[in-house]
């Protein structure tokens, strides 16, 4: 509760900064949403009044803070729906993509970091560094388009990148919003395979982007631990190498890796806009980008507030995981 209370000023700062930034950006939403390019000034003024844009800036801010405190994030002019409803509908898609991408990244990054740490400055170590550097240097939309071109266009192994599920497949009953879980809960394994196939390429695209920091931190942290006295003692008493590395060294090296995992996951939720656009993924990133291009204030402000809240919750979860990885660390 202390951590959650301490995060309130940070969330408030995010809300105020986003509110002011949206007002500074060029473009008038009333002009954009006025019916037709030949809309008159009276129609534009009336729309500005309905949106509250004719009021002083401080009054708009106070009204917006009051709406947030009462659970209202406004209404999207683009979709005509409450922002809270739009975010709740699209958030499972982004979370499913981010979770699956994080699992792929961890499955690749941690073994690569361990191998690189066990053979520092070797050909394997340099190869791991090259792969990590390549993943960072190539933008996500470029790697996504390349994966689509190779696996969908050339090889025909992947389904068409048109959202979370094939257009000819039936949607499952909405139970959790996560298609893989919902298909399993209703026993539709054909639908599960279709949803899984649609998820692989966008998730792998995001995993390539976050592979580098995870592998590098695993390598650096494990190298520091492997030079410790307790590791030399464990080896001197005849323990097997895998037991020394996995049970003792890796567990002590996990604290910095956990920190990077929290930062990476929060970053993935906010930075997957291009991936969602390339693969027509109906997540909160593409929703916020469409609203930003239309100068639709409420969805963008709601998106930033949601990402900030998720970032706070992820950091709190990482603090709890510290105590699991190392009992000497407490939440205090």
Q: What is the pLDDT of residues 40-49, one digit of tens each?
A: 667 767 777 7
The residue to which tokens 């931190």 are assigned: 217
Q: Where does the pLDDT of residue 150 fall: very low under 50, low under 70, confident under 90, or very high at 90 and above?
A: very high
Helices (H), the chain: 2-24, 29-33, 41-51, 57-69, 83-118, 123-137, 140-147, 179-186, 189-226, 229-236, 241-243, 250-252, 254-271, 273-278, 284-293, 297-325
Residue 271 to residues 91, 105, 210, Cα–Cα distance (Å)? 14, 15, 11
pLDDT digits (tens, 9 = 90+) for 275-328: 888 898 999 988 988 888 877 888 888 898 888 888 888 888 887 777 776 666
pLDDT digits (tens, 9 = 90+) for 69-91: 888 888 887 888 889 999 999 99
The token duo for 279 is 């693969």
Domains by residue range for the chain, with CATH: 2-69 (no CATH), 87-294 (1.10.3720.10)
Tell me what pLDDT residue 202 has. Answer: 92
Query: 198: number of CA atoms within 13 Å, CB side?
Result: 26
Tell me what pLDDT residue 151 has. Answer: 92
Tell me what pLDDT residue 330 has. Answer: 62
pLDDT digits (tens, 9 = 90+) for 182-208: 999 998 888 899 899 999 999 999 998
Q: Are 258 and 318 in contact (CB under 8 A)?
A: yes
Q: Where does the pLDDT of residue 331 fall: very low under 50, low under 70, confident under 90, or very high at 90 and above?
A: low
Tell me what pLDDT residue 162 has. Answer: 84
Tell me what pLDDT residue 106 has. Answer: 92
Total Cβ atoms within 10 A of residue 291: 25
Question: Does the pLDDT of residue 27 top 80, yes or no?
Answer: no
Helices (H), 227-253: 229-236, 241-243, 250-252
Tell me what pLDDT residue 97 has. Answer: 92
Tell me what pLDDT residue 34 has. Answer: 64
Tell me what pLDDT residue 61 has. Answer: 85
Give me the percent of the chain exceeding a pLDDT of 70: 92
Mean pLDDT of the chain: 83
Question: Does the pLDDT of residue 39 top 70, yes or no?
Answer: no
pLDDT digits (tens, 9 = 90+) for 244-268: 888 888 888 888 888 888 888 878 8
Residue 267 to residue 138: CA distance in whole angstroms:
17
pLDDT digits (tens, 9 = 90+) for 214-227: 988 888 888 888 88
b/e burial code for range 296-329 (CB count within 10 A of at least 16 → b):
bbbbbbbbbbbbbebbbebeeebbebbeebeeee
Tell me what pLDDT residue 203 has. Answer: 92
Q: Where does the pLDDT of residue 35 fall: very low under 50, low under 70, confident under 90, or very high at 90 and above?
A: low
Residue 220 to residue 113: CA distance in whole angstroms:
8
The token duo for 262 is 């929290």
Question: C-alpha angle with apex 254: 123 to 95, nearest 5 degrees?
Answer: 100
Tell me what pLDDT residue 70 has. Answer: 84
Overall average pLDDT of the 149-174 stretch: 85
Tell me what pLDDT residue 226 has. Answer: 85
Q: Are 116 and 211 in contact (CB under 8 A)?
A: no
Question: Does the pLDDT of residue 104 top 90, yes or no?
Answer: yes
Instruction: Output the pTM of the full model.
Output: 0.82
Please, which residues have CB within 8 angstroms of residue 235's CB and are 6 or more apart in sequence? 241, 244
């Amino acid at each position: 509760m202390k951590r959650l209370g301490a995060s309130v000023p940070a969330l408030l700062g995010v809300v105020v900064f986003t509110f002011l930034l949206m007002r500074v950006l060029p473009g008038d939403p009333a002009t954009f949403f006025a019916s037709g390019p030949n809309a008159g000034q009276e129609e534009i003024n009336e729309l500005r009044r309905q949106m509250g844009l004719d009021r002083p800036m401080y009054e708009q801010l106070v009204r917006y803070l009051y709406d947030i405190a009462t659970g209202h994030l406004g209404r999207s002019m683009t979709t005509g729906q409450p922002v809270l409803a739009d975010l709740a509908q699209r958030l499972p898609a982004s979370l499913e993509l981010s979770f699956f991408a994080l699992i792929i990244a961890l499955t690749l990054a941690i073994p690569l970091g361990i191998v690189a740490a066990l053979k520092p400055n070797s050909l394997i170590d340099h190869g791991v560094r090259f792969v990590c550097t390549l993943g960072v240097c190539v933008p996500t939309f470029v790697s996504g388009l390349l994966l689509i071109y190779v696996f969908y266009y050339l090889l025909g192994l992947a389904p068409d990148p048109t959202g979370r599920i094939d257009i000819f497949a039936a949607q499952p009953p909405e139970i959790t919003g996560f298609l893989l879980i919902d298909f399993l809960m209703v026993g539709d394994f054909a639908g599960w395979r279709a949803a899984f196939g649609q998820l692989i390429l966008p998730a792998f695209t995001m995993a390539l982007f976050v592979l580098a920091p995870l592998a590098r931190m695993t390598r650096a942290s494990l190298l520091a631990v492997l030079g410790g006295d307790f590791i030399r003692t464990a080896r001197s008493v005849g323990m097997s190498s895998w037991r020394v590395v996995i049970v003792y060294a890796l567990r002590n090296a996990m604290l910095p890796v956990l920190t990077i995992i929290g930062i990476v996951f929060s970053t993935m939720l906010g930075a997957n806009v291009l991936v969602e656009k390339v693969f027509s993924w109906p997540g909160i990133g593409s929703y916020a980008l469409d609203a930003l291009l239309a100068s639709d204030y409420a969805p963008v402000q709601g998106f930033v507030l949601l990402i900030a809240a998720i970032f706070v919750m992820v950091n709190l979860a990482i603090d709890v995981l510290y105590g699991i990885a190392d009992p000497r660390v407490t939440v205090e």
